[in-house]
Amino acid sequence: MGNVRISFTRNSTGALEITDSNDYYPFGMNHLRTGGAFFGGNTYKNYKYNGKELQESGMYDYGARMYMPDIGR
């Protein structure tokens, strides 16, 4: 589907370490996690739903248009 669900890197020992994790509703809104929430430590990845960049406004940059997942447009 092209959604960036998990971002990872190698740590100093060479093991994989998850830096960001995301789950989405059908139109791109992020699932809020309860309990063992994962916030990726102090890292934040901008490319999220459909591999598009999430702007500070909460909208995704699709090039010719902006997309707001909570209203599906």
Q: Please give the residue that has the higher pLDDT: either 29 or 19.
A: 19
Task: Place 43 in a pLDDT band, splitting at 50, 70 and 90.
Answer: low
Q: Which residue has the tokens 């809104």?
A: 29
| 71: in domain | yes
| 48: in domain | yes
Average pLDDT over residues 38-46: 53
| 37: in domain | no
Cα separation, 66 vs 49, whole angstroms: 13
Query: What domain range is 50 assigned to?
Result: 1-32+42-73
Structure pTM?
0.49
Q: Please give the residue that has the higher pLDDT: either 9 or 7.
A: 9
User: Which of 22-26, 34-38, 68-72 has the highest average model confidence (pLDDT)?
Assistant: 68-72
What is the total count of domains within the chain? Answer: 1
Contact 55, 66 (CB under 8 A): yes
Q: Which of 70, 3, 12 is CA-nearest to residue 21?
A: 3
